[in-house]
Structure 1
Amino acid sequence: MFLVSFTAILYGAVAARAHYPYSPGINHVSPAQWSALNASVSGKLHGGIPLARPCFTLANTAGSADPAKCAAIREGYSNSRFLVEQFGAYMNVQWGSCQKTTQTCVLKGFNITDPSPSNPPNVCQQGSVSPYYIDVRDASDVQKALAFSKRTGVPLVVKNTGHDYEGRSSAPGSLALWTHNLQSLSYNVSFVPAGCPASRAKPGVTMGAGSIADNVVAFAEANNVTVVAGAERSVGASGGWLMGGGHGALANTLGLGVDRVLEFKIVTPTGQFLTANECQNSDLFWALRGGGGGTFGVVMESTSLASPKMTLQVAFAHFSRNNTNATRGFYKVVAENSVRWAEQGFGGYIESFQALYVTPKLNSTEAAATMQPLFDYVKALAPNDPGVQILNLEVPSYGTFYQTFIANSGAPVGENAVVASRLIPAANFASAENRTALVDALMQTLAHVTFGLTLIATTPYNVPDDGSTSVTQAWRTAVWHAIAEGGWDGAVPLDEEKSAYSGISAAADFLRAITPDGAYQNEADVNEPNHEVSFWGSNYPRLLQIKKKYDPENVLSCWHCVGYNPRSPRFSCYI
C-alpha cells in the first residue's frame, strides 16, 4: 500500500486543508489534535493521498512524484484487486474528485499509457479523497473516530473497497474509516446468534467487514459450503454490498445477501459496540438488512448463512458485439422466456450480445431443454457471425462457476462511470404487448447509453418477502435488475460531467416509463427521482425512525442514504 508517514500528514498534508472551504471542521483542527487522535488509535491515522499522485510533478496535496510507484499504478489502474488495496483509489475514479470544482487527480483509464493527464501544467488535487483516514482494526478505532468527529465537526465517511456508484465512501475534508483490513473469515457448522436459543443454530460464515468476494468464495469452497456473493471479485461481502441488498448469481433461489445474514457486529454513531440479530437489537438488525451502508453505524463483521455445496447447470450464449442487428431479436427471446427461467431458478447476466445463466434447481437435461430457445436463436446467427458461442455444462460447485465465469469479468474499473438502474417486475413480461413494450424500452435505453446496458437476473424471485429485511418489496416481484451505464475518461470540463449524469438519467427514463418505482440503491442513478420509495418502498418511514434512534445527531450521512440532508457541506462536490 502507498502510505505516508504521520509526520508527512502534519507537515505536508496540512497545507491541503486550505482547499476545503466546504468542511469548516477540518480547517479548525490543529496538528496537536491530529497527533492526539493518532496516539489514541495507536498510530493507525494516515494521510489520504489520491491514487495517481506519484504520477504528477505538480500537486496541491501531500506526497511526491515517484516514477516507480507511478508505473505500478498505471499497471494496476484497471485491476480491482490492486485498487482495493490502495486507500486513495476508487473503482469509479470520479468519486475521488471534487466534480463541482473539477479538482481531480486522475489518469486516462482507456489509454493508461498516455502521460498527458499528469504532465504539467496539470496539478494533482485532493478532490474528495479524505485527507486523513484511520486503518480500522478494531471497534475502539471507530469509537475514537466518532468521538473526534463530534468534538471537532470533521465529517466521517466509511470506506471499504471503493465500489460505490454514488460516492458514499468519499467526501471533501473528511476523516475516513477504512475497514478494508478487517479480513477475518471463520466457519461454524452450528452458529447460534448471540442471545438466541440453541435451536436457532445454523451453519454460518463470519466475515470481517473488509472480506472481499474472491476470498469469501474461496473460503466457502474450501469448507464445502456455498455463499451468495457479488459479481465483482473485490466487492466487500460485509459492507455496502450486503447492507444495500447484495445480489449475486444464486440470489434467485438462495436470496439476497440480506436474506441470509444471521448477525452483525457494529459500532453505532453513539459509540456503542452492539450485536444485532433476531434476538437482540432486532430493529437495528432489520435496518441493516437493506437500509444501506455508512448510515446506521460501522459494521465490523457479519455472519451469513452457509448452504451445502451444490451442483449447478450453466448456460452461455454469445454472438459478436458488433452484430447489433441481432440484439432486438435476442431481447425478444429472453423476454419471452425469462419468467419461466426465473421460476426454474436461473440467475445470471444478460448483455446486448450475450447471456450467462446458472441454476441449482434443474439437471443437465432439463436445463438444456428449457434453454433451447436461446440456443436456437444464437445458433441461427452462426453462418454470418464467427463470434457465435454456445455452452451448456454442469459444474460441481458455485466456487467452480465463480472462477470460470465471474472472477475475471465484472464491472469496469479505473474510469469515470455513471449508472442508473431499474427493477423490472414480472408484469412487464405478462403479455405479448407488455413484452414488446419492454423490448422497445430496452432498445431505446441501449441507444442512449455510452458504455452499455446489463440485465441482471439475480433477483430473489423464489425467495418471498417475509418482512425480515428492509429492501424495497419490488425485489420480490422483479425478474430483472437493469443497469444502464455511461461515463467519461480522464479529466473533462464540468459540462461534460453533467452531460454524462443527465444522459444516463434520460436513458433510464425509457424503463421508468413502463415500471413502478424500484431501483437497487447500490447501483442507482445519483439523481434517482423519488429515491426513498425506489430504494425502500414502504419501509422508509420505519428506517428513518431507527436512524434517529441510533444516530440522533446524524453523525453518519451519505448521499441518498436514510435521513440524509442534500444541503450538507459533505455533498458539496456533487453535481
Structure 2
Amino acid sequence: MWAGLSVSSVLLLATAARSQAVPFEAVRAIFGDAVSQQEPFSAPCFQDWESAECVAVRTNYLSAAFRSNVPSSQVHTQWETCQTTGEQCLLDATNSNNRLAVNQTTCANGSVPDYFVDVSDYTQVQKAFKFSRDTGVPIVVKNTGHDYLGRSSGRGSLSLWTHNMKQMAFHRDFKPEKGDKTYATAITVGAGVQFSEFYAFADANNVTVLGGAEASVGASGGWVLGGGHGPLANTFGMAADRALQFKVVTPDGQYRTVNAAQHSDLFFALRGGGSGYAVILETTYLATPAVAIQAIFLSFSATLDTTRQLWSVVIDNGLKWSEESWGGFANDGAFIYINPVINATRAVESMKPMADFAERLKAAGVANVALTQTTFPNFLSWYKVFSAANKAAQGVNMPEASRLIPKSSFATAKSRAELLAAYEAAYKITPGFLILAATPASYAGDGLTSMTPAWRNSVFHNTWVARWDWNATRAEKVATYRKVSEAADYVRKITPDASYTNEADVYEPNYKVAHWGPNYNKLLAIKKKYDPKGLLDCWHCVGFDASSPRYSCWFTEAEVKGRR
C-alpha cells in the first residue's frame, strides 16, 4: 500500500467515486510522477480485512509517527471525513480490530484531497499555484497532519505534501540574506523535518532548539506560522521569535527568501500570523548552546479531589515558577516541569511546594504517587524520557479549544480562586484538560512577531478536548464541538480574549482578536498583498472566507452554537 512511503511509487484510487474538477491525467501532465491520488488511510480494511495493508493500518491506527508518513492521513481523523454529510472511511479508534466499523459503513473519500503532490522543490509549488489559479481547485498544505482545524485537508483540493523535505543544516554563524546581523548558531530545517529529527540534529551539534512536545509534529510550517510553543518557550521564546529566515513560494508564484531585511512585512506575517501567506519550504531557527535541564516529574492516581488539589498548587505557584524560568505541563494526574536556567539546588528549593504536595498525597493514602527531581545533561536526554512516557491522543476524532491565562489571574487570592473554580466547572463538562506552562512570559521578543501580544503576558496556555466515536451521529458530533467550547467559556469569562490559533476552538468566538489581537488589520493587508485571490484561504485564518464552498464539510457556527 505505502511501499517505501513514496507518493510517486503508488497510484491509489479511492474506494468511493471521486468528483474531480480536473481529470487526473491532466494533473499528471503538469506534475509528472510527483503527483498521485491517495485513498483514505483506512481504505485497505474496507477492501480486505486480512490484507497486510489492513493489518498495518489496524496495528498503527493510533500511531502519529506511522500516520505522518501517509499523505491522506490526519492525526485528528474528523478532518479525513466530511462531517456534514457523514462521508468517511474510519476504523474504531477505541478498538481498531472491531470489524463493525467496516461492516456497517462504506469507505468514502470525505475530506481527503483529490490530488497529492510530493513536494521536493519550489518549482512544484509554483506549478501548483498556477494550476489553482487556472482551474479554481483549492490548495492545502500538509506535512504530518497534526491539525485541529482542518486546514491541511479538503475535498476537491490539491494537497502540497511537504513531508519528504528533510534537509537540515547547522550554521556555526548565520547571517540572513541581505541582513546586517550575524547569529552565533542556527539550524535550517526543511518543511518536512519533525521534532524528533530536529532535536537529534541539534543535540549532535551540541545546541538546544525550541520545539514542541509531540515527536512527530513538523518543526516548520504550521507550527511556526501559528507562533509555535514548547516547554522551553518561557525562556527561549516562541518558534516565531526564533525564526531568522524563511524560504517560501507566495501565491503569485514567486520564490522568496524572507527575513527582517527583505520582505519584512511577510517576515512579520510568517512569524505567528497563521497560515495562508505562503508555502514554507525551509526555516532557519536560532540555536542556543546546549544546557543542563532541571526536571521534576510527579504522577499519581487521580480523583476529582486530588486533581483539584494539584491545580491549586500549580495556580498558587504559577507566576512564581514562571518568573523562575520553569515550563512544562500538568493534567489531572501528572505534573512535568523543566528549567534550563537554574541549578539543581535552586530547583529543589523552587519546587518545594510540589514536593510537599506529593508528601500530602502519600499521607492521605493516594495510590501510585511517584515524584522524581533530577538533572539531565541536555534537552534531548530529558525529552527521550518525557516522550517515552507521554503520548498524545492520535488517530481519533477530537476537537479542541484553548485559552491563554494572563499574569493578572495569579495576582491575588481572589483571582486565583476564580481560576481554580473555572477549571473545576470546565472539567465537569469534559475531563480532557491540560495546563501548559509554554508561554514566552519571560521572553520580551524583538517586536517582529504577529501572534497576539497576549502571549507575553500569559503564564498558562490551557486546552480542552473531547472525542466522538466512528459511528457518532451528526448531533453527537455537533454536541462534542459544543462541549469543548462551553468548557472553555468558563475561563473565557474571567480572562482577556486570547487563544492559540494552532490549537483553537474551531468555532472560537471573536477569533480575529483572540488569535492576533491588534495585529489583525496589518496582517490582513499583508494577506491581500501576497495572496489577493485567496488561493491559500483556510479556516479562521487571516482573510478567511466563510462563504467559500471549500468549507462545506464544516458545521456552521450557528448549528454548533445551537442557533440552527
Q: 1:109: Cα distance to partner?
A: 1.1
**1:465·1:473 contact (CA, 8 Å) conserved in 2?**
no
Q: CA RMSD in A?
A: 1.6
CA contact (8 A) 2:296 2:374 kept: yes
Equivalent-residue separation in structure 2 for 1:48 and 1:32 (angstroms): 15
Q: What's the offset of the Cα at 1:352?
A: 1.7
Q: Distance in 2 between matches of 1:271 and 1:429?
A: 48
Report deviation, 1:464.
Answer: 1.7
When normalised by structure 2's length, the TM-score is 0.95
Corresponding residue for residue 383 of structure 2: 402
* Cα shift at 1:30: 3.3
In structure 1, how many angstroms separate the alpha carbons of the residues matched to 2:128 and 2:116? 9
Contact 1:5 1:47 in 2 (8 A): no
Q: Partner residue of 1:159?
A: 142
The 4+ residue runs of structure 1 with deviation greater than 4 A are: 2-9, 12-15
Q: Which residue number corresponds to residue 23 of structure 1? A: none
In structure 2, the partner of 1:61 is: none
- Cα distance in structure 1, aligned partners of 2:408 and 2:16: 57
Deviations 1:246-283 (A, max 9, x none): 11111100000000010000000000000000111111
Classify the secondary structure of the residue corresponding to 1:487: coil
Q: Secondary structure of the equivalent of 2:374?
A: strand
SS at match of 1:162: coil
- 1:16 positional shift: 2.6
1:570 to 550, 555, 558: 550
> Where in structure 2 are the equivalents of 1:207-356 lying within 5 Å?
207-293=189-275, 295-321=276-302, 323-356=303-336
Q: Which residue of 2 aligns with 1:16?
A: 17
Contact 1:214 1:407 in 2 (8 A): no
**In the alignment, structure 1 residue 434 sits paired with structure 2 residue 415:** yes
- Cα distance in structure 2, aligned partners of 1:5 and 1:219: 28
User: Retained in 1: the 8 A contact 2:241–2:445?
Assistant: no
How far did residue 15 of structure 1 move?
7.5
The alpha-carbon deviation at position 7 of structure 1 amounts to 9.6
Structure 1: 5+ residue runs without aligned partners?
19-25, 58-63
- Alignment equivalent of 2:29, drawn from 17, 29, 36: 36
* Contact 2:16 2:107 survives alignment (8 Å): no
Paired AA for residue 250 in structure 1: L
Correspondence for 1:50 among 37, 40, 43: 40
Letter paired with 1:79: S
Question: Partners of 2:82 and 2:14 in 1: how far apart?
Answer: 17
Deviation digits for residues 321-359 of structure 1 (CA, Å, limit 9, x no counterpart): 3x2221222211111111000001000001022210101
3-state SS in 1 of match to 2:317: helix
Deviation at 1:487, TM superposition (A): 1.3
Structure 2 stretches lacking a partner, 5+ long: 556-564
Identify which of 120, 128, 146 aligns with 2:111.
128
Write out aligned runs for 1:379-458 (5 A): 379-383=359-363, 384-450=365-431, 452-458=432-438
Q: Partner amino acid for 1:168?
A: R
Q: Show the counterpart of 2:562.
A: none
2:424 alignment partner, SS class = helix
Matches within 5 A, 1:107-122: 107-119=91-103, 121-122=104-105
Q: 1:547 aligns with which of 511, 524, 527?
A: 527
Q: Quote the Cα distance in structure 1 between the aligned partners of 2:153 and 2:286.
A: 31
Rounded to whole Å, the distance in 2 between the matches of 1:263 and 1:408 is 34
- The match for 1:204 is 186
Q: Does the Cα contact within 8 Å between 1:196 and 1:279 map onto a contact in 2?
A: yes
Query: Is the counterpart of residue 535 in structure 1 residue 525 in structure 2?
Result: no
Partner of 1:512: 492
2:16–2:108 contact (8 Å) kept in structure 1: no
The one-letter code of the counterpart of 2:66 is F
Q: Give the match's secondary structure for 2:309.
A: helix
Q: Distance in 2 between matches of 1:355 and 1:147?
A: 49
Q: 1:406 Cα shift?
A: 2.7
* % same residue: 43
Give the equivalent residue in structure 2 for 1:177: 160
Give the letter for the 2:331 counterpart. Answer: E
Cα deviation, 1:228-254, whole Å, max 9, x if unaligned, reads 011101000011011101111111000
Q: Distance in 2 between matches of 1:251 and 1:66?
A: 46
Change in Cα spacing, 1:433 to 1:210, as seen in structure 2 (3 Å) is: same
Task: Tell me the CA shift for residue 386 of structure 1.
Answer: 2.4
TM-score, with normalisation over the residues of structure 1? 0.93
- Quote the offset at 1:465 in angstroms: 4.4
Q: Deviations over 1:22-66 (max 9, x none)?
A: xxxx43x23442232233xxx100112100000003xxxxxx777
Assess if the C-alpha contact under 8 Å between 2:452 and 2:498 holds in 1.
yes
Mark the CA change 1:309 to 1:215 in structure 2 (over 3 Å): closer, same or farther: same
Question: Is 2:125 the partner of 1:142?
Answer: yes
Distance 1:13 1:54 in 2: 10
Deviations 1:110-143 (A, max 9, x none): 1111111012x52100000102110000000111
